[in-house]
Amino acid sequence: MSEKVVKRIHTIPLYRVYWGRRRNRAKRAIRIIREYVMRHFKQAEEIVISNEVNEFVWSRGIEKPPRRVKVTVEFDPSEKVARVLLAKE
């Protein structure tokens, strides 16, 4: 049986990043994105965040990441890998 790749668009809120110290906000934002995808795609054993998403989060520096990021998550059930890509509008 062939399983299809699931594609979903999510807007991930990153407001919790601003609750802590300034000097590690972008790193924490990447961790929050990873946790969010893990929570919504429980079958995924591996989460791959694309360079586009990483560069978007880090675009304003470590202290001022964006408040939210719109991503497309592609989940392949056969490989159990979730890929996080920047949503194209």
The CATH number linked to 20 is 3.10.440.10
- Residue-range definition of the domain harbouring residue 39: 6-86
Dihedral angle of Cα 72, 51, 12, 41, to the nearest 10 degrees: 60
Reply yes or no on whether the pLDDT at 1 is more than 60: no
Angle at 20 between CA 61 and CA 86, to 5 degrees: 45
Domain for residue 1, yes or no?
Answer: no
Residue 85: predicted pLDDT: 97
Residue 20: predicted pLDDT: 87
Tokens standing for 31? 């961790």
- Pick the closest to residue 70 from 89, 49, 55 (CA basis): 89
C-alpha R_g of the chain = 14
Residue 2: predicted pLDDT: 58
For residue range 14-68, list pLDDT tens digits in order. 999 999 899 999 999 999 999 999 999 999 999 999 999 999 999 999 999 999 9
Reply yes or no on whether the pLDDT at 69 is more than 60: yes
- Count of structural domains, the chain: 1
Domain for residue 58, yes or no?
Answer: yes
Residue 27: predicted pLDDT: 96
